[in-house]
Amino acid sequence: MTSAQTAASGTPRPVIRHADDVSAIVNAGPQGGGHANIIVALALGGVFLDAYDLTTLSYGIGDVQKHFGLTTSATGMVAAAMSAGTIVGSIAGGWLTDRIGRYAVFMADMICFVIAALVAGMAPTATILILARFAMGFGVGMDLPVAMAFLSEFSKLSGKGSKASRAAAWCPTWYAASSLCFFLVFALDAVVPTAHPDWLWRASLAFGALPALLIILVRNRYMSESPIWIARNGDLEKAAEILRASHGIDPVLQIEAPPIRPQPHGIAPLFRQPLLKRGILVSTISIVSAYSYAAIAFGAPSLLAGMLHLDRKQVLITSIILNLVFAFTGGLIGVRLARYVSSRKVNIVGYILQAVSIGTLAIVGTPHSTAGVIAVLGGFAGYLFGQGFGPGCQQMIYATLTYPTEIRGVGIGMNRLISGLGATMAMWALPSLYANFGTNLFWFILSAPLIGLTLHQVIRWDVFNYDPDGDDTLKGVLRPAARQDTSLQHSALFNQG
């Protein structure tokens, strides 16, 4: 919106005096004519890639094992390599996101996706495949902190299109990507020669490069740096320029004092109260969610084949139905609930449903009757539905809205590191656990929702309608010398007056 258009409409132009004014403008939402929603869509495209790449071998891991003649332990390494890469990428990506900005990191991880996907699809040895999967995981680890930062920093505070609902949107996006992966494998399975089963997993891995290439091609037209991050790094003029393009808003600059460019914070603020206590809850939500999801959702094709004696096509069809009908639907419900309902209450309900579902799987084990088959399918469906609106959605809402802009990247990165540890341990241990314990492994997985439920009773933190950038308590945590800086600014203004 131009100045002339603003004047003609009678809408007062917002004033920017300091970084908090930029946050307030974003919290109010765009006025029209901008492309903030496209930036949000591109950020979700990054999440789509993350999910697709993590899902690709959930079906083809058996073919990989046969193709390279791998042991059970080596197969676990192939499965876990991507999660291991996520651990490293989360810390690097989170730190870089806060240090050099959102845009540069986002584009770097898109390039990483393209290269790693193509190398994985053509891997001549298991070692190359493990390294390529690790690189893909590194890209995923880099992407999630920056994608969630974009979702928060280009969204308003409440209502439709709020920060919480946009953060929650990562979950249905994730399941849509998982479903697409299964659809692709299903289609390829019909045309790939039976003499070359490796073509199936190779093609599905390499396909992951295509969405990343599309995002790279449109970056120059729509993508931009976060106005909130730019403002909090001292460039209010650039922040105003971004708001004109992204939000259709033409603010007036009335800078009271030269902005003080903050020093890099690193991870130190994460260990100061109240962020330390809140971070314990956020991290626990993520690690138990990643542990149970990796074991059940990633392991679903193998578990369904073993427990229900399904063939390849039946496993694919069942996986697609579970993802679309239950996980994806649960995610969409989670997005809507995020606008109006306490995140804590929604998460608790999700944990309860998951505990009942996993308990059912543990009790029934391998079914020997129609009722048993229904109970097993109900257990998988109930878990995925609960994950969709509960921990799956809420873990990223909590991680995104607990931390202010200055440390949002490193906060989410630390969160994803812990989550990656849980997923890596689960995917590495799953083949051995299932081989040794059979369906009794569900008793181990049951601990995940029970731990989440317990901690929610101990730490009652909720992020519903909460804006960490407007929390004065956190400003003191981030800048222990903030009062001194503020006093100096006020003194300078007084002297100038």
Alpha helix locations (H) across 29-71? 36-68
Interval 488-496 mean pLDDT = 39
pLDDT surpassing 90 at residue 389:
yes
Domain boundaries, the chain: 17-483
Mean pLDDT of the chain: 83
Interval 370-374 mean pLDDT = 89
Cα dihedral sign, 412-417-419-423: positive
Helices then strands, counting H and E runs in the chain, come out as 24, 2
- Taking every pair of Cα atoms in the chain, the longest distance, rounded to a whole number of angstroms, is 85
Three-state DSSP class for 124?
Answer: coil
Q: How many of the other CB atoms lie within 10 Å of CB of 33? A: 14
The pLDDT, as a whole number, for residue 347 is 96
> Which residue(s) pair with 253 in the sheet?
16
- Could you tell me the pTM of the whole model? 0.79
User: 89 with 140: CB under 8 angstroms?
Assistant: yes
Sole residue written with tokens 């097993």: 376
DSSP character at residue 365: -
Residue percentage of the chain with pLDDT more than 70: 91
Interval 421-446 mean pLDDT = 79
User: 98 with 265: CB under 8 angstroms?
Assistant: yes
The pLDDT, as a whole number, for residue 58 is 67
Structure tokens at 61: 């891991």
Interval 69-95 mean pLDDT = 84
Cα dihedral sign, 58-330-380-314: negative
Domain 17-483, CATH among 1.10.510.10, 1.10.600.10, 3.40.50.300, 1.20.1250.20? 1.20.1250.20
The pLDDT, as a whole number, for residue 426 is 74
Split at pLDDT 50, 70, 90, the class of 313 is confident
Least confident of 271-285, 306-320, 343-357, 423-437: 423-437
User: 319 with 300: CB under 8 angstroms?
Assistant: yes
User: 206 with 57: CB under 8 angstroms?
Assistant: no
What is the DSSP code string of 125-190? SHHHHHHHHHHHHHHHHHHHHHHHHHHHHTSBSSSTTBHHHHHHTHHHHHHHHHHHHHHHHHHHHH
User: 394 with 346: CB under 8 angstroms?
Assistant: yes
